[in-house]
Amino acid sequence: MIDWTYNARNDLAARINRRLTQWRMAAPVITQIERPIVSFTFDDFPKSALNGADIVERHGGKASFYACTSMAGKTGPYGEMFDADTLADLNSRGHEIGSHTHTHLDCSISSPDEVLSNIDLNLQSLREMGHDADVTSFAYPFGETRLDVKARIAERFAVGRGVFPGVNHGRMDRSHLKSYTLDPSQASLDSALAGMNSLKEDCGWIILFSHDVSDKPSDYGVTPQAIETLCQRAVDLGAVIAPMTQAAILAGAWSK
Ligand SMILES: [Zn+2]
């Protein structure tokens, strides 16, 4: 059963805990990034995220798609979700499929073993849907996690992506990377663009995340125009537009 309406806890204790978890690094790495890197990522994910793939490709890049397999083939608040054909299509075009748990689990209130078995189910479902490529990238549902879970994610995956905004550079936690949300608001676009502009002074890796991509996006989605603007800015900056695992390798944050 998918609870499409579930919201992660947001009381004071949960908010404090979330910040502490972001600061406590489980897999710190020191990086030296010479050329800006930009990663576009899409969570859950709706089929309309393919519009994002098209735009990213037109700008010479590839994106990452975090599959929550219990949502596959269903229709949710942000439209029709991915299916086996979507995975095959993205894979053949060189995009990355990442793990996002099977049930969209809140990893901050689950034990590491629960999280890992949910991920196993996720990876097994992906294989049953014909996706046999290695899955080396993970995104925490709701961006929620905890230190002991992050440590296990670091053992299992090259990267774990959170939802705290900011540029990844210098010392970073590869099991809890920062990323800017892209929603329909001008504020979210401005925030991501400001982050990208800061790369001119302080080189780093910017990760962006959203869900659906359409002219009339959901509250969690983004317009094709916004993706276009961000891609163009990345090109103007001379950035590499790379999916997450490849970006982690370029950043020196992970090696095979
Ligand atoms: Zn999600």
Domains (range + CATH), the chain: 31-251 (3.20.20.370)
Rg for the chain (alpha carbons), in Å? 17
**C-alpha 205 to ligand 1 mean position (Å):** 21
Q: How far is the CA of 106 from the centre of ligand 1 (A)?
A: 10
Q: How far is the CA of 236 from the centre of ligand 1 (A)?
A: 30
Tokens at residue 191, please? 């925030």
Q: How many angstroms is it from 100 CA to the middle of ligand 1?
A: 7
Across the range 71-86, mean pLDDT stands at 96
* Interval between CA 43 and ligand 1 midpoint (Å): 5
Question: What percent of the chain is modeled with pLDDT above 90?
Answer: 94
Helices (H), the chain: 12-23, 49-58, 84-92, 112-128, 147-156, 186-198, 224-236, 244-251
User: Model confidence at 5, in pLDDT bands (50, 70, 90)?
Assistant: confident
- According to DSSP, the residues that pair with 210 across neighbouring strands are 42
Q: Is 80 exceeded by the pLDDT of residue 1?
A: no
pLDDT for residue 3: 85
- Counted residue by residue, the chain has a size of 256
Q: What is the pLDDT of residue 2?
A: 82
Q: How confident is the model at residue 152 (pLDDT cuts 50, 70, 90)?
A: very high
65 CA distance to ligand 1 middle (Å): 10
C-alpha of residue 116 to centroid of ligand 1, in Å: 16
- Give the pLDDT band of residue 256 (cuts 50, 70, 90): confident
Taking CA atoms, 90 is separated from 34, 53, 235, in Å, by: 29, 8, 22
Distance 141 CA to ligand 1 centre (A): 4
Please state, for a pLDDT cut of 70, what percent of the chain lies above it: 100
Gap from CA of 190 to ligand 1 centroid (Å): 22
